[in-house]
Structure 1
Amino acid sequence: MLKRMTVSYSDSFKGLSTEVWWLALITLINRAGTMVIPFLSLYLTEHLHFTLVDVGWIMSAFGVGSLVGTWFGGFLTDKFGYYKVMVCSIIVTGVLFIGLQYLETFAMFCLGIFTVILAADVFRPAMFVALSAYSKPENKTRSVTLIRLAINLGFSAGPAIGGIIITSMGYDKLFWIDGVTCILAGILLLNVLHPKKARVLDEVVVENPVSAYSDGKFWVLFVALCLFGIVFLQYFSTIPIFYKQSHFLSEFDIGLLLGMNGFVIFIFEMPLIKWLEKLKYSKVDYMIFGTVLLGLSLVILNVSAWTGVLVIGMLLMSLGEMITFPFSNSYALDRAKNGKQGQYMALYSMSFSVSHIIAHNAGMRLVDGYGFESAWYIFTIISVVCILCFMYLLRRSN
């Protein structure tokens, strides 16, 4: 039984190109390298002595930098190609991370974090276009899933490594190590994915490329993903507070619950995606199903005061995330073939940047004004609106 499961798990990774594996490793190093981010609020309040209001504005600058950077990345990718954009973004980000430690005033830090995240998120549309080029058409969804696996591993390892560095060496060394890891990822990219070495498996040349901004169906996808992101991001802002205040969980217990999300994704996402692809439903069908699971994960929190529902909710959310994100990304890559690929993938990534700008602030205000129970019902309704958007997309696709 165990042997069969192991073979099935390893089989889910077969057929992916060497270039996709290199891209996943570079993404893992890059995301693990951004270890400053999880400790940013602590650094700002304890080291620079900023107020919570100041920190809120700085995080808003973070979100706007992500939005602008993603848009700019799409523009640059269409103009100069994904390879040059990825190399420049990752190396410049490393240099800027090192410089961030020397900013001490509120205005300078707002400008600094905006610039760093702008440079970092230029990478995202270029990476998606590269992923499309390095993947065979039939492997695109699993290739996206592998990149997500790398991102999750990076985000899991980064905070742990960052905590050790801060404890043993201090914040200044954290900025240096953070920047250097980004630069090292850029050097690796230069060596293994140079156009003379990398194989392009799905090259798309469009004579008269369609603008993503004139693609009505893609705008429906954009709105749906914004709504999905607004609900999904509650698990990283308001729901930990709910765990603490309503269920009296310790920080350790909360960490275990949130860590379960990454563990479930790491173990099950690739085999799950491979199995779902065999069922031959459309990508939009899977997006609808994933959103249903996400909505259920919130409404179940109001069903019972039993602490076990928190585990059930986290598992439902994790399943919804594992299904919706890879298939929505693959859908976007397919649609991008008809137009300016950088522009399409920038718009796709921007939907989550918009979610970040709205989600945390909206969630906190709803909880503060109406309480947790009402907030979870409101976010469930937002999930339903998201499902309706996907259903409209499905209807228009037939």
Structure 2
Amino acid sequence: MIRKLLRAYIGSFSDLRREVWILAFITFINRAGTMVIPFLSLYLTKNRGFTLEEVGWILTFFGLGSVAGSWLGGKLVDSIGHYKTMAGSLLLSGLFFVLLQFPVSFWGICAGIFVVMTIADAFRPAVFVAISAYSKPENRTRSITLIRLAINLGFSTGPAVGGLIISGAGYSGLFWVDGITCALAGILLLKMLHPKKALENPKEIALNPKLMMKDKPYLIFIGAMILFGFVFLQYFSTMPLYYARVHFLSEFQIGILMGLNGFLIFLLEMPLIKYLESRVRSTLFHVITGTILIGISFVLINLTGWVGILVVAMLFLTLGEMIAFPFSNSFALKRAEGGKQGSYMALYSIAFSMGHIFGHNSGMQLIGKFGYDLTWNVMIVLSAISCALLVYVLFLVKKEKEAGAVNYYNT
């Protein structure tokens, strides 16, 4: 039985191209080094002495930089290609992550975080287009999943190691490790991955490309993803504060709990995605399911003050994340076919950047004024609205297929 499960697990990784594996390895190195982000709210409150309201505004600049970076990355992909955009983003963000430790004033930190995120998040639309360029069409969702596995394996390693670094060398050591690993990822990209290995040229435009701003289903989908990101990102800003202030967890314990998310994704996501791909369900159906599960995680947290519920809620969040992210990404890539892929995937990235802008700040303000319980109830309502929008997108896509306007596979 164990041998059969092991064969099935290994088989779920089959048929993926070498270049996709290299891209995943580079992404792992980059993500493992991004240790500052999960501890940012704690760093700003404990090390720099900012209030929750001030941290909320600082994290708004985090989101603004993410939006600017996603937009810039999309433009660069459509002009100079995904390869140069990824390399430049990784190398420059390595430098600026190191420099981010030096600003001490409120506005200095706001400016520093904005610049860092503008540079770092130019990588996001580029890596999405790279997946499309290097993977076989029939393996695209699993290729996306492999990249996510690399991200989450890095994320499971990063917070745990980050907690140890903070204990031993303080937050300054965290910034240095962050910068060095980002630069190392850029060097590996230049050494190991070559743009000539791409199966297709993602800059190639169809004679009559879809106008993204007139693609109604896609725009509503992006709206749903903004709300989804708003809710999901609470686990990386307000939730660590909840762990520390309500349940009195240490930085190391918080790192372990958040690392559980990445470890489970590494262990289970690829077999789960392969299984779900074999079911007769639409991509959007899976995105809806994942969104519901993430909403349930907030319901559970509000049910009891038992510390063990944090682990149970993390399990629901992780399952929802494993389902929602790969299939939402796959849906976005499919809609982008025949259009400017950089622009389409930039808008997909911006959806989550908007979550950074409004989610972190609003979450901090809600907690500061009304407490954690009401804040989690707001997240439950937003999850429900996101699901309703996704159901409407599913209806619109079915109408398109019936009318023969679009021939999307498994949308």
- Fold shared per TM-score above 0.5: yes
Q: CA deviation at 1:48?
A: 5.5
Distance 1:275 1:202, change over 3 A: farther
Write out per-residue CA displacement over residues 127-161 of structure 1, whole angstroms, 9 at most, x where no aligned residue: 10011111111111111111111111222222343
Please say if residues 231 and 359 of structure 2, whose CA atoms lie closer than 8 Å, have aligned partners that are also in contact. yes
- The amino acid of 2:194's aligned partner reads H
Please say if residues 288 and 387 of structure 2, whose CA atoms lie closer than 8 Å, have aligned partners that are also in contact. yes
Please say if residues 137 and 202 of structure 1, whose CA atoms lie closer than 8 Å, have aligned partners that are also in contact. no
Aligned-partner Cα distance in 1 for 2:366–2:170: 37
Aligned-partner Cα distance in 2 for 1:21–1:125: 18
Moved more, 67-76 or 162-171: 162-171
Q: CA deviation at 1:329?
A: 0.2
Give the count of matched residue pairs: 396
Aligned-partner Cα distance in 1 for 2:195–2:237: 41
| Equivalent position of 1:37 in the other structure | 37
Please say if residues 162 and 174 of structure 2, whose CA atoms lie closer than 8 Å, have aligned partners that are also in contact. yes
| Equivalent position of 1:349 in the other structure | 349
Distance 1:369 1:314, change over 3 A: same
- The amino acid of 1:141's aligned partner reads T
Write out per-residue CA displacement over residues 274-297 of structure 1, whole angstroms, 9 at most, x where no aligned residue: 000000211011111112222222
Moved more, 167-176 or 131-140: 167-176
Aligned-partner Cα distance in 2 for 1:366–1:39: 20
| Correspondence 1:370-385 to 2 at 5 A | 370-385=370-385
Write out per-residue CA displacement over residues 171-217 of structure 1, whole angstroms, 9 at most, x where no aligned residue: 55544443232222112111222224x23258554223223223211
Q: Does 1:199 align with 2:198?
A: yes
| Equivalent position of 2:76 in the other structure | 76
Distance 1:291 1:59, change over 3 A: closer
Distance 1:54 1:230, change over 3 A: closer
- The amino acid of 2:125's aligned partner reads P
| Correspondence 1:69-148 to 2 at 5 A | 69-148=69-148
Distance 1:116 1:269, change over 3 A: same
- The amino acid of 2:73's aligned partner reads G
| Equivalent position of 1:327 in the other structure | 327
Aligned-partner Cα distance in 2 for 1:18–1:231: 35
Aligned-partner Cα distance in 2 for 1:167–1:305: 28
CA RMSD of aligned residues (A): 2.6
Q: Does 1:159 align with 2:159?
A: yes
Aligned-partner Cα distance in 2 for 1:249–1:45: 15
Q: CA deviation at 1:116?
A: 1.3
| Correspondence 1:356-371 to 2 at 5 A | 356-371=356-371
Please say if residues 293 and 320 of structure 1, whose CA atoms lie closer than 8 Å, have aligned partners that are also in contact. yes
Aligned-partner Cα distance in 2 for 1:235–1:17: 33
SS at match of 2:206: coil
- The amino acid of 1:200's aligned partner reads L
SS at match of 2:195: coil
Moved more, 334-343 or 165-174: 165-174
Write out per-residue CA displacement over residues 224-268 of structure 1, whole angstroms, 9 at most, x where no aligned residue: 11111222223334445555666x453366554433322221211
Aligned-partner Cα distance in 2 for 1:279–1:289: 14
Aligned-partner Cα distance in 1 for 2:34–2:304: 38
Aligned-partner Cα distance in 1 for 2:45–2:300: 35
Please say if residues 140 and 330 of structure 1, whose CA atoms lie closer than 8 Å, have aligned partners that are also in contact. yes
Aligned-partner Cα distance in 1 for 2:51–2:299: 34
Q: Which runs of 5+ in 1 are unaligned?
A: none
Distance 1:243 1:123, change over 3 A: closer
| Equivalent position of 1:313 in the other structure | 313
Please say if residues 96 and 179 of structure 2, whose CA atoms lie closer than 8 Å, have aligned partners that are also in contact. yes
Moved more, 227-236 or 204-213: 204-213
Aligned-partner Cα distance in 2 for 1:163–1:307: 20
Q: Which runs of 5+ in 2 are unaligned?
A: 399-411
Aligned-partner Cα distance in 1 for 2:35–2:245: 28
Aligned-partner Cα distance in 1 for 2:135–2:152: 21
Distance 1:102 1:269, change over 3 A: same
- The amino acid of 1:199's aligned partner reads A
| Equivalent position of 2:405 in the other structure | none
Write out per-residue CA displacement over residues 15-42 of structure 1, whole angstroms, 9 at most, x where no aligned residue: 1111111111111111122233344455
SS at match of 2:124: helix
Please say if residues 56 and 365 of structure 2, whose CA atoms lie closer than 8 Å, have aligned partners that are also in contact. no
Write out per-residue CA displacement over residues 34-62 of structure 1, whole angstroms, 9 at most, x where no aligned residue: 23334445555666666655544332222
Q: CA deviation at 1:108?
A: 3.1
Please say if residues 297 and 317 of structure 1, whose CA atoms lie closer than 8 Å, have aligned partners that are also in contact. yes
